[in-house]
Chain A
Amino acid sequence: MSTSVGRSVGESWRVLRTPLLVTGLIVLAAIVVLIATSARTSGPFSPDSTESDGARALAALLKNHNVDVHSTETLDDAVQPGEGKVLIVGPAGSLDRPDWERIANAGWSHLVLIRPGSRALEVLAPGVQQTGNTLASRSREPGCDLPAAVKAGTATVSGPTYSAPSAAAACYGDGINNTVIRVEVGDRIVDVIGTPTSFTNEQLADDGNAALALNLIGTHQDLTWYLPQFESTDTGTGDDSGAPLIPPDVRYIAWALAFAVLVVAIWRGRRLGPVVAEQLPVIVHASETTEGRARLYRRSRARDRAAAALRESALAQLHKAHGIPRRADPSAVVATVAARTGWDPAMLYEMLYGLPPLTDDALMSLSDELDILTQEVRHP
């Protein structure tokens, strides 16, 4: 008779309950930890990041100088009315032209653009342009009459450079390529900074970097520190950004396709019963030890042992074939074999009782001669 194997739904649930619970807790904990820690290490030039490329030191310094630092990652905070306030726009992000226009219209008194792109420059700092060159890290003189820079003295700068219009103050560069530029657009001050690394935790203490940062940024009591993420209010509505590269329908098709792949995977993945295992016998060839010994002979070049074995074997065959007594004298054996086969006795003696061969070739030729001699015995 038969017994059913496998588990019912209730049994499956009871068995799987604990593992599922544990897995769920682990996943939950991982998510919580990720969320809790993500703000502190959220990339370069974040005022919360304590990494070497973060800017927590600068934020702390500003706070010590009675500046309120508001950190944000959403565009809405960066477009609120900003009279009498400072806005720092971090280096990352994918803001479109309309976003920059909204920032421009917000009326910030002082804008600090960290390593801006061409779109930001067109909107916020007309006349300033990317040069495409990069300065190597080095301590430099201000080279301009901007008071903030002159007071700070030398600073260690590196990174992309910008060219400034004649009305602007262009500092820390080689005259043509500058890393710090201040332009005044209407009543708004716009700083373009190509050297964010100077103000990171790692380099803030070098040279006059800290003084330069405080002089440049600490102009107002209220500072908003905006790190643009990959967001934009502009998706699909902007007419100047061109058509999106991926049509929006594709994402639904992709989800439907993923579902279809899952269904097919379940269809193909379920086996008709488990694989049956069995114990297999060990396979050892009886001649393995003999072959192993042959390889050992060869590796240690045991020509003497090999030749002795071949000679003994040939002698045993000759003894048997010619009826020679077992304990016969070598000379008697040679005489008998020579008489029966017609081989030269001296050569036979050398073959059967000679010295071990000294080279591989000598061993080969000895083996061949013995083979011929015994073949005559085997097939007369």
Chain B
Amino acid sequence: MVLTGRAGILAAAGVVFVALVMPSWSGVGLVVAVVLVVCVVDVLLAGSPRRLQFSRDGDTAVRLGEQAVVQLLVTNPSRRVRGWLRDAWPPSAGVLDPPHKLDLPSGERRRLVTHLVPTRRGDRQAARVTVRAFGPLGFAGRQGSHEVPWTVRALPPFNSRKHLPSRLARLRELDGRTALLVRGQGTEFDSLRDYVPGDDVRSIDWRATARRGNVVLRTWRPERDRQVAIVIDSGRLSAGRVGDAPRLDHAMDAALLLAALATRAGDRVSLLACDSTVRADVRRPAPQDVLPSFVNALANVEAELVQTDFRIVVSQVLERLGQRSLVVLLTGLDPAVIEESLLPVIGPLLRRHVVLLASVADPRLTELESSRADLLEVYSAASAARTRLDRDRLTATLTRAGVTVIDEPPDQIAPALADTYLALKKAGRL
């Protein structure tokens, strides 16, 4: 049961009545009785929120930062329902609409639209739908709730997709579709065609020329159908915030750009998100499914405050990769963790594959190092310098061990990773 402001006004008027007209117990009793009778009659005449029927429809997934639209279909099989309807979602689902005003005559249905702009990645589940139906007098009413399940998945935003066109152009250059037909490392035989004046004479296939009678040229293309394994560390190294998002989110962004680029380059991409257990695992999807399956798998991955077990990472990667492949490890450059838990176990991986370690650098460290106004800032600068030196030392150690290291700030990490991939491809190291 709910009351409205009118009931409050009626009770307040009752105070005036008692004060001026009937200052006695019977006056007080009269006021209480009138208010109670009016409210009870109103409640009895109000429509029933419990009998309403609901169903939902609309978006099930939305890129973080964009707007999802979820519709709620309300059917009223019984008496007219007049009042308010609140479609409740968790705060991070970002509901834009205030409670809906509802006036639903008997036997009719209405479509109510809720707009959501999720503020965090992951699944957002609808809480309950609450209806408050007032009686015809507007003094009191009934309230009831319904569970109408619906889930909107907020996918990783993939902000780095703006870098994709320029990298694809570089890839096409590499691919030979725009420029040279030069044989070299990182290329494989593509096809034979007739010689055209101006072609590089070194590419003439003399054996085919002898068979055909006219001069035939070999063409080359970059290696294709290589495997790329992207491993995202979802442990505590990825939990730290750089800028306004955890390292994990920047890492996902970089991983998606690399996946898009590698797919276009004809390589097979697989994904693994791992801390103490495997959190997301996508194995070699079809080229058109790469991005959808990746964003879906990553949508619910959150950084856990546990130490990543790199033995799992290594064994999982070795298990799924047969031929020589590129392994991209997105983690943090923490000397203690990497030296103690990654370096001892990375040997088998390095022997069979090309390993690339990408880490999001923190611009705040540069800031700390450069401001030296007072004593605390000098100590902060010294501390930041020590951190950077440790990272540099770790980078050198990893490079000596044969790992390619990328350590870039959040806005640079995705393009830097894409560029490194292109460079490796060009150099034929895949």
Contact = CB atoms under 8 A, between A and B. Distances in A.
B302 A281 contact: yes
Contact of A364 (B362, B364, B369, B375): B375
A287 B145 contact: no
Contacts of A135: none
Nearest to A297: B379
B380 interface: yes
Contact of A260 (B5, B15, B127): B15
Interface stretch (A26-34, A107-115, A236-244, A309-317): A309-317
Contacts of B25: 252
B99 A272 contact: yes
Given A273-B86, A274-B128, A312 B28 contact: no
A272 B143 contact: yes
Contact of B128 (A273, A282, A316, A371): A273
* Size bracket of the A interface: 35 or more
B412 interface: no
| Interface size of B as a range | 35 or more
Contacts of A262: 11
A257 B8 CA distance: 11
A272 B32 contact: no
A253 B19 contact: yes
Interface stretch (A2-10, A76-84, A180-188): A2-10
A165 to B, nearest CB: 49
Contacts of B285: none
A274 B129 CA distance: 10
Contact of A264 (B8, B19, B381): B8
A263 B12 CA distance: 9
Given A253-B15, A259-B28, A367-B372, A267 B4 contact: yes
Interface in B336-386: 360, 362, 364-365, 368-370, 372, 375-376, 378-386
Given A283-B241, A360-B375, A4 B50 contact: yes
A363 interface: yes
B84 interface: yes
B389 A313 contact: yes
B375 A298 contact: yes
Nearest to B332: A286
Contact of B18 (A253, A270, A305): A253
Contacts of A1: 53-55, 148
Interface stretch (B89-97, B173-181, B182-190): B89-97
Contacts of B239: 282, 284
Interface in B231-252: 239-242, 246-247
Contact of B382 (A3, A249, A294): A294
A293 interface: yes
Nearest to A360: B375
A89 B88 CA distance: 68
A270 B247 CA distance: 42
A285 interface: yes
Contacts of A305: 382, 386
B392 interface: yes
Nearest to A366: B378
Given A2-B54, A276-B91, A313 B379 contact: no
Contacts of B364: 285-287
18 contacts: A1-B54, A1-B55, A1-B148, A3-B147, A4-B50, A6-B145, A259-B32, A266-B7, A267-B2, A267-B3, A274-B88, A276-B89, A281-B302, A287-B368, A291-B383, A293-B386, A294-B383, A306-B378
Interface of B: 2-5, 7-8, 10-12, 14-15, 17-19, 23-25, 27-28, 31-32, 35, 50, 52-55, 84, 86, 88-92, 99, 120, 127-130, 132, 143-148, 239-242, 246-247, 302-303, 305, 332, 360, 362, 364-365, 368-370, 372, 375-376, 378-389, 392
Interface of A: 1-6, 8, 248-249, 252-253, 255-257, 259-260, 262-264, 266-267, 270, 272-274, 276-278, 281-291, 293-295, 297-298, 305-307, 309-310, 312-313, 316, 360, 363-364, 367-368, 371
Given A256-B27, A274-B88, A294-B382, 15 more contacts: A4-B146, A5-B128, A256-B19, A260-B15, A270-B2, A270-B3, A273-B130, A276-B127, A278-B90, A281-B302, A284-B241, A286-B332, A295-B379, A305-B386, A367-B372
